[in-house]
Amino acid sequence: MIWTAYSLIRGGLCLAVTIAFCAYLARDLFQEAVVRLKLRKHRRRFAPGRCAKCGYDIRASPLRCPECGEPTGRPVPPPKKLL
């Protein structure tokens, strides 16, 4: 908590305001942390090379997601010619 000389001398109302301010500050910091964690999860899930439906890594799967079966939307690479 934030203790000031004024709140210690006056007591009562000043102490209540100081405690209320600290409570609001703690709430706001907690909400900011929750929003940042959700944003990080969203960015990681929909990063390039991941399935849009489940977030599974599909870089090695050209046609479908091996986890949920969702089509990747990438074109099928042409077969390699053997010499």
**3-state secondary structure string, 33-71?**
HHHHHHHHHHHHHCCCCECCCCCCECCCCCCECCCCCCE
What is this structure's pTM? 0.44
The answer to whether the beta carbons of residues 54 and 66 sit under 8 Å apart is: no
* Per-residue pLDDT at 1: 52
* Of residues 21 and 32, more confidently modeled: 32
Lowest mean pLDDT among 1-5, 21-25, 28-32, 60-64: 1-5
**CA-CA distance, 80 to 27, in Å (whole number)?**
59
pLDDT, one tens digit per residue, over 28-77 is 999 999 999 988 877 776 677 888 788 788 888 778 888 888 888 766 56
* Per-residue pLDDT at 21: 85
**CA-CA distance, 45 to 66, in Å (whole number)?**
16
DSSP 30: H
Q: Match 């405690």 to its residue by tokens.
A: 19
